[in-house]
């Protein structure tokens, strides 16, 4: 990878991490377009720069996190299913799923249909929770189980957790906010695990590329988070479902 490719991927990551369109899927497809070979370093890069995007959530939500120990515990509990499954299936995920364009395209396509179908039947009700601090531990675990499906590239961690939140009775904005916060331990753990498994065996130039990607994703994500919250106050997730389907079809027909 060269510096321009790193900058492009970091912007793609920052924009897509919190939208229900799969940041990992977009990184895989962007790498295809940029003709970047899926080496072990590139796969690690695609994991590690996500932590840069997650840092944006820490910066924006640190007051809420510090003011509610109960909320922090619920986030940790929600993270447990993904932590367990991620450890068990790490080798399969990195060896066979990450970088697999066909898996990514099918996940994008089917996930887009799921977003549209669920929105067709979902109606926000007065009794739905708008305060994530009132979420029960049981429902936090259910959202965590939904998130674990997103280990398949193209599914989208954001989409899985948001749909999980809607399923257990959160309002749209609350589901989005919980998805943001659940990303913190999830991506921190994913990055830490990958660094340990790779034994930190990156060259000096690779560390430099990681740093650039990390910072680029962080800056872009700050803007994306603020935009997404404003958007979802007035719109549904249908547009994202349509986008996912169109993107998958375009790649099916013209790219692959």
223: nearest Cα among 23, 5, 13, 3: 13
* Predicted local distance difference test score (pLDDT) of residue 113: 95
**Which ranges of the chain have pLDDT less than 70?**
99, 199-200, 255-256
Q: List, for residues 77-96, the tens digit of each pLDDT value.
A: 999 998 898 788 877 777 77
Give the sign of the dihedral formed by CA 71, CA 167, CA 51, CA 77.
positive
Say what the pTM is.
0.83
Q: List, for residues 9-28, the tens digit of each pLDDT value.
A: 999 999 998 889 988 788 88
Annotated domain spans of the chain? 3-255
User: How many CA within 13 A on the CB side of residue 15?
Assistant: 10
Chain-centre distance for alpha carbon 215: 17
The neighbour count for residue 250, using CB atoms within 10 Å, is: 12
* Predicted local distance difference test score (pLDDT) of residue 5: 93
* Predicted local distance difference test score (pLDDT) of residue 74: 96
* Predicted local distance difference test score (pLDDT) of residue 4: 93
Tokens 């939208």 sit at which residue?
19
Give the sign of the dihedral formed by CA 169, CA 82, CA 47, CA 75.
positive
Distance CA 237, CA 126 (A): 19
What would the two tokens of residue 153 be?
A: 């590239």
* Predicted local distance difference test score (pLDDT) of residue 6: 93
DSSP codes, the chain: --HHHHHHHHHHHHHHTTTTT-HHHHHHHHHHHTT----HHHHHHHHHHHHHHHHHHHHHHHHHHHH-HHHHHHHHHHHHHHHHHHHHTHHHIIIIITT-HHHHHHHHHHHHHHHHHHHHH----TTSB--GGG--HHHHHHHHHHHHGGGSTTS-HHHHHHHHHHHTTB-HHHHHHHHHHHHHHHHHHHHHHHHHHTTT---HHHHHHHHHHHHHHHHHHHHHHHHHHHHHTT--SHHHHHHHHHHHHHIIIII-
* Predicted local distance difference test score (pLDDT) of residue 202: 82
Tokens 């599914």 sit at which residue?
155
Torsion of CA 237, 96, 27, 177, to 10 degrees: 40
């Amino acid at each position: 990878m060269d510096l321009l490719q790193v900058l492009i991927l970091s912007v793609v990551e920052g924009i897509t991490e919190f939208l229900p369109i799969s940041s990992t899927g977009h990184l895989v497809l962007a790498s295809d377009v940029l003709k970047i070979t899926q080496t072990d370093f590139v796969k690690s890069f695609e994991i590690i720069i996500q932590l840069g995007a997650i840092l944006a959530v820490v910066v924006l939500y640190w007051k809420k996190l510090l003011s509610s120990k109960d909320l922090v515990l619920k986030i940790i509990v929600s993270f447990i299913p993904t932590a367990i499954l991620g450890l068990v299936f790490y080798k399969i995920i990195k060896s066979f799923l990450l970088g697999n364009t066909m898996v990514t395209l099918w996940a994008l396509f089917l996930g887009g249909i799921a977003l549209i179908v669920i929105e067709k039947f979902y109606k926000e009700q007065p009794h739905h929770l708008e305060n994530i601090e009132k979420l029960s531990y049981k429902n936090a675990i259910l959202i965590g189980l939904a998130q674990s499906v997103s280990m398949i590239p193209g599914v989208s961690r954001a989409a899985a957790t948001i749909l999980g939140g809607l399923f257990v009775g959160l309002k749209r904005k609350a589901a989005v906010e919980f998805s943001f916060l659940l990303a913190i331990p999830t991506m921190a753990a994913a990055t830490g695990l990958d660094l340990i498994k790779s034994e930190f065996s990156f060259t000096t130039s690779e560390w430099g590329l990681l740093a650039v990607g990390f910072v680029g994703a962080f800056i872009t994500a700050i803007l994306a988070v603020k935009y997404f919250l404003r958007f979802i106050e007035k719109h549904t997730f249908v547009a994202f479902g349509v986008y996912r389907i169109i993107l998958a079809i375009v790649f099916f027909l013209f790219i692959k």
